[in-house]
Amino acid sequence: MLTNTSTRAASSSSPARQFKAATTAPRAARTVRLMCRASAEPEQRSIAKWGAAAAAAVGAVVLSSAPLPAVAVPQTSVCATESCDGMDFSNKDLRTEFYTKGSLKGANFSKSNLTNVSLFGANLADANLSGANFSLANLGQANLEGANLSQTNVSGAIMSSARFNSKTILDGADFTDVIVRKDVNDLLCKLAKGTNEMTGNDTRESLNCF
């Protein structure tokens, strides 16, 4: 019995069996690694696709929430570089125009609509603005000396630092919600009279003349 056991043991550990075991183990290990890799690749591809989709979604949110580019506001107008003195702008809808710092001496804007239009710093000396609608317009620092504002609606307009003189005509002008310095308001009250036909507002009352 001892001899047979020893013989089987010796036989099982023979060089041929040892060589077979040595070559079989690496192949088995390689097979296991390939199987693991094969099972992992779909998951990795799925994770990669999900990551790309998430990145695209985040990018879309960032782009959609990005502010729109600012639109530059013109600092001057055509009439500032090329004189518009004495030109006829009467009886027109001019709400899409602007006359910032324009030279408009003696120009005719009678019965035109200039609602919300910028005439900041414009020279409107002796201009005819009668019957025009300048409500909510920007007339800040404008020169209105000698201008005709009879029946003109300037309600809600910006007129800070605008210049007037004793030759400015205000018959029936509406200055509702217009803010000017006290000394300017005192001058306008000396000139104010009549009622605006468009709004029905009394000129002196619109200037708070007491």
Query: pLDDT digit string (tens) for 182-206?
Result: 999 999 999 999 999 999 999 999 9
pLDDT (mean) for 164-178: 98
> Residue for token digits 């390689």?
30
- Among the residues of 66-171, which ranges form H helices? 78-81
Q: Above 50 in pLDDT, residue 5?
A: no
Rg from Cα positions in the chain? 44
Average pLDDT over residues 139-164: 98
Q: For residue range 71-101, what is the model confidence (pLDDT) as tens digits? A: 444 566 899 999 999 999 999 999 999 999 9
Beta bridge partners of 148: 128, 169
Amino acid 3: pLDDT: 45
Q: What is the pLDDT of residue 143?
A: 98
What's the token pair of residue 175? 């200055």
More confident residue, 63 or 82: 82
Taking 60 as the threshold, does the pLDDT of residue 135 lie above it? yes
Tell me what pLDDT residue 71 has. 43
Average pLDDT on 104-119 reads: 98
Average pLDDT taken over every residue of the chain = 80
* Separation of alpha carbons 137 and 102, rounded Å: 14
Answer for the pair 158, 134: CB distance below 8 angstroms, yes or no.
no
- pLDDT of 34 over the 90 cut: no
Closest CA to 165 of 132, 199, 188: 188
Give the percent of the chain with pLDDT over 90.
63
Q: How confident is the model at residue 113 (pLDDT cuts 50, 70, 90)?
A: very high
- 31: pLDDT confidence band, cut at 50, 70 and 90? low
What pLDDT band is residue 150 in, cutting at 50, 70 and 90?
very high
pLDDT band at 148 (very low <50, low <70, confident <90, very high): very high
pLDDT value of residue 77: 86
Q: Which residues contact 65 (CB under 8 A, 6 or more apart)?
A: none
Q: What is the spatial distance between Cα 181 and Cα 163, in angstroms, rounded to a whole number?
A: 11
Show the tokens assigned to 110: 């009678």
CB 118 within 8 A of CB 139: no
Give the mean model confidence (pLDDT) for residues 13-36. Answer: 52
